[in-house]
Amino acid sequence: MKTGIDAIAFDVAQLHLPIQTLAIARNIEPEKLEKGLGLIKMTLPDVHQDTVVFGANALTKLVLENHINLNEISRIYVGTESAIDSSKPISSFLIALMEQKFGDNILANCDVVDFTFACIGGVDALQNCLDFVRLNPTKKAIVVTTDFAKYDLNSTGEYTQGAGALAMLVTANPKIIAFENEWATSTKGVFDFFKPYRTLSKETITGNDTNDAWFDNLEAEIEIHKDQPVFDGQYSNQCYMDRTRNAYFSFKKIKNTTETLYNTWESIIMHLPYSFQGRRMLSEIYALDAATSILSGNESSADYQNKLKEVSKSDEYRAFVTQKLQPAEIASSLIGNLYTGSIFMGFLSTLAHFAKTNATISGKKFGFLAYGSGSKSKVFEGIIQPEWQLAVAKTKLFETLEESHEIDFATYEKLHKKEQKQSVKAPRNEWILDRIENENPNLIGARYYKWID
């Protein structure tokens, strides 16, 4: 029996800032970002949008476009690192909104939970749901990934921002891709990228050392939530390479093969925090697993890095990138980082590209190299199914991305600083954040959403 992704839908922020506009404002050579990192646009949430909105929009599209009977869904598992509550999961919001639109108690027996492990949380949710369907072949599950990748103004991550969600139906005998039941994992607890609890002393804020109540806070320290992470880009890249390399070669052992594994994959789908990240990270695996190894492993650290640079600039590696990695990069360059959704958007981008070029990929094997900071990598593979093209056509990926609304730099900064009070683009046929309760003491902070026709 096969298990995998039967249908897929997405929703991304409808506002974008051209990378060239950001580069000029930050005194960065635009070519460095466009040709060096593969960036063209970065998407940003409007005032009425958050991660619940993106997830609900993607899920609603999945249901409507594929005529899904929600009574048949046994679980909705969410991958995210952009939670809006420290207790109530995004998945519980999604249940409420789906019942608001499709009928009371239609998901009353559906199991929901969120998975958090930086950018790999969506892959964790997928693996769990695949195992569930294998044990229960008549049941169906949905995986939703939803995130807002926000970085500090003027930081080195600023130009990689993005926002959006994907929703995937997981079933037996899927139409799009069936996954093999072999997965390799590499994990290590590190601080390459994280979002810690941050505090300020109340005295610093109030100038009073008596610890009087301040907006109902009795603690001497005030906790601050920030969407922006603490990160070390260079170290995070090294962690990405280390975990992915280890998982890749563990996967070779699981497969009990000595052949060059990546040669068996028609396409390689990787986590893309920016469009060209995958091609930068994969050169080491490419060199180590080549038929004639380019690296011996006995080089000095400097010689090893120099050889890797030679590999990444070689005509052979560039041809390899064009064939196996480039299709996944197309959407990333127009959207930005989707954190947990990045690898799945790369998958959808690849399928949409092959559909557009009328490529024959049924029966072909795709390799997936997932990564999440903190840090963990998973390597797995799947086989494209005969009905993939019909299923993917419903998403209209590239057509939708062309409709994105361009904003200027001043509007971008106002949105980033949360100074913008009115929606930049009037919502239509989508969920919106309607209000946040600030009066009822038993519901302070409760978020309420509604559908706009």
Q: What is the pLDDT of residues 327-375, one digit of tens each?
A: 999 999 999 999 999 999 999 999 999 999 999 999 999 999 999 999 9
- Could you read off the pLDDT of 15-24 as tens digits, one per residue? 999 999 999 9
Residue 205 belongs to what domain range? 195-224
* DSSP per-residue codes, 146-175: EEEE---TTSTTGGG-EEEEEEEEEEES-S
Res 296 pLDDT > 70: no
pLDDT of residue 307: 85
pLDDT of residue 358: 95
Query: Where in 243-397 does DSSP place strands (E)?
Result: 267-270, 365-372, 376-384
Tokens of 326: 């480039």
Res 175 pLDDT > 90: yes
pLDDT of residue 402: 97
Res 300 pLDDT > 90: no
pLDDT of residue 295: 76
Q: Which helix (H) or strand (E) element contains residue 286?
A: helix 277-288
Bigger pLDDT: 295 vs 430: 430
What does the pLDDT average to over 90-98? 98
Amino acid at 77: Y
pLDDT of residue 162: 98
CATH number of domain containing 387: 3.40.47.10
For residues 414 and 277, state if they share a domain.
yes
- The C-alpha atoms of residue 343 and residue 422 are separated, in whole angstroms, by 32
Residues near 428 by Cβ (< 8 Å), separated by ≥ 6? 452, 453
Q: pTM higher than 0.85 for the full model?
A: yes
**Nearest of 147, 131, 161 to residue 16 by alpha carbon:** 161
C-alpha 20, offset from chain centre: 23
**Per-residue burial over 369-397, b = 16 or more CB atoms within 10 Å of its CB, e = otherwise:** bbbbbbbbbbbbbbbbbeebbebbeebeb
What does the pLDDT average to over 306-331? 94
Domain count, the chain: 2
Res 405 pLDDT > 70: yes
For residues 218 and 249, state if they share a domain.
no
- Could you read off the pLDDT of 65-79 as tens digits, one per residue? 999 999 999 999 999
For residues 82 and 211, state if they share a domain.
no
- The C-alpha atoms of residue 245 and residue 377 are separated, in whole angstroms, by 9
For residues 214 and 97, state if they share a domain.
no
- Could you read off the pLDDT of 257-279 as tens digits, one per residue? 999 999 999 999 999 999 999 99
pLDDT of residue 294: 75
Res 293 pLDDT > 80: no
For residues 39 and 119, state if they share a domain.
yes
- The C-alpha atoms of residue 40 and residue 31 are separated, in whole angstroms, by 10
pLDDT of residue 94: 98
For residues 185 and 202, state if they share a domain.
no
For residues 331 and 201, state if they share a domain.
no
pLDDT of residue 291: 74
Bridge partner residues of 201 (DSSP): 221
Torsion region of 214: left, alpha or beta (phi above 0 gives left; psi -120 to 50 gives alpha)? beta
- Strand, coil or helix: 383: strand
Phi, psi values for residue 145, rounded to 5°? -115, 130
For residues 406 and 432, state if they share a domain.
yes
- Could you read off the pLDDT of 191-224 as tens digits, one per residue? 999 999 999 999 999 988 889 888 888 899 999 8
Whether 129 contacts 75, CB under 8 Å: yes
For residues 159 and 298, state if they share a domain.
yes
Strand order of the β-sheet with 405-406 is: 41-44, 15-18, 405-406
Res 249 pLDDT > 70: yes
Packed helices 342-356 and 121-135: angle between N→C axes, nearest 10 degrees: 80
**Nearest of 138, 118, 123, 264 to residue 194 by alpha carbon:** 118
For residues 69 and 206, state if they share a domain.
no
Among 224, 241, 272, residue at a domain's last position: 224
- The C-alpha atoms of residue 54 and residue 12 are separated, in whole angstroms, by 7
Q: 117 falls in which pLDDT band (50, 70, 90)?
A: very high
For residues 104 and 209, state if they share a domain.
no
Among 205, 224, 243, residue at a domain's last position: 224
Tokens of 285: 């695996």
Whether 209 contacts 220, CB under 8 Å: no
For residues 105 and 207, state if they share a domain.
no
pLDDT of residue 231: 95
